[in-house]
Copies of this chain bind each other. A is one copy, B any other.
Amino acid sequence: MTDSPVFVSESESAALVDDDLALAAAREAFLATAHGSTFPVVIGSSSTPGTRFTLKSGSAGDLVGVKIGSFWPDNTDLPRHSSTIVLLDPATGRLRAVVEAAAANAYRTAAADALAVRTLARDDSRTLTVIGTGHQALHEARAVSRVRPIDRVLVVGRRADAARRFAADVAAATGLPVEAVDTRTGVAEADVLVTATTAREPLFDASWVRPGTHVSAMGVDGPGKQELPVALHDRAKLFCDLPEQSTTIGEFQHAPSAAPVALGAVLAGTAPGRTSPEDVTVFDSSGFALQDLTLAAALLHRHTVPGGTE
């Protein structure tokens, strides 16, 4: 194969991505965790203090490549997060494609959440609570509300004005009634509870969580970060993307004895998921390269075959 590499620009990928594409790519990535490989994550920086880039690489089947994620905190006109996915040609090792995916990255992360909710939450989940009022939290609300018969969204933020503004944004994105509430109310009334924050300590009390609730912790991807109370783990069935990563840089770094089950194993039918409507299920997402590679491949396919789908 000596095909020229394909370049998909940020504006192209932003126009191509949608929740269905991202969800199908997420499912493929989680299934691939059983046989694929992920390699050590690099955290680097530019010569400007405070900037950060991460390299997440992996391979599975005919996918091999790396996602370069960047965080430039001083960006004002542009988003602070960017993402570039590089795919190598599995047959030759040469460059196959470069996909700019800053906007698509938010869909990718939210799709992992939606996949976990579709796999683990009760079928009759109606109330979705989101803790966190940032850009990613909005994507989580939209993606999750599509996979269950959600008819009400509760939002929880530290600042009342941010929570009200976020509630309006979620209402616009989902078409659902949305209410800003206090943390205890949000947790206690949730069928599905999503945390999407940069917290470094538990956001709520484990005793507030009702039996039957599904919890997705989306914000923890590094040492010291924490969203969930450790006491919740004792009452819950625990799931994650990559167990080894989740117990080192994910939510379960705070619960050394936790043995979370890979969501991919549940999807593949090799491990049980929820077994009772009373189960509390917890899913921890710390993010892995195969999500980026399957996302890039899906975008590439849609880019190459206009109107094509996965």
Contact = CB atoms under 8 A, between A and B. Distances in A.
Nearest to A36: B47
Contacts of A44: 37, 39, 57-59, 64
Contacts of A71: 93
A90 B46 contact: yes
Contacts of A43: 39
A5 B102 CA distance: 14
B46 A88 contact: yes
Interface in A2-48: 2, 4-5, 7, 9-10, 35-37, 39-40, 42-48
Interface stretch (A78-86, A185-193, A265-273): A78-86
A57 B55 contact: yes
A62 B51 CA distance: 13
A66 interface: yes
A68 interface: yes
Given A2-B78, A7-B98, A82-B92, A47 B37 contact: yes
A123 B209 CA distance: 77
Nearest to A98: B98
Given A9-B4, A53-B57, A93 B66 contact: no
A181 interface: no
Given A9-B5, A36-B47, A37-B44, A82 B93 contact: yes
Contact of A102 (B4, B39, B90, B94): B94
A37 B52 CA distance: 13
A72 B59 contact: no
A90 B39 contact: no
Interface in A67-110: 68, 70-72, 75, 77-78, 80, 82, 84, 86, 88, 90-95, 98, 100, 102
Contacts of A256: none
A60 interface: yes
Contacts of A66: 55, 66, 68
A95 B100 contact: yes
A307 interface: no
Nearest to A4: B9
Contacts of A308: none
A284 to B, nearest CB: 24
A306 interface: no
Interface of A: 2, 4-5, 7, 9-10, 35-37, 39-40, 42-48, 51, 53, 55, 57-62, 64, 66, 68, 70-72, 75, 77-78, 80, 82, 84, 86, 88, 90-95, 98, 100, 102
20 contacts: A4-B9, A5-B9, A5-B100, A7-B98, A44-B58, A45-B64, A46-B64, A47-B64, A55-B66, A68-B86, A70-B88, A70-B94, A71-B93, A78-B94, A80-B93, A82-B92, A82-B94, A84-B95, A94-B102, A95-B100
The 7 tightest CB contacts between A and B, nearest first, are: A70-B93, A72-B93, A46-B64, A39-B44, A82-B94, A84-B95, A46-B59
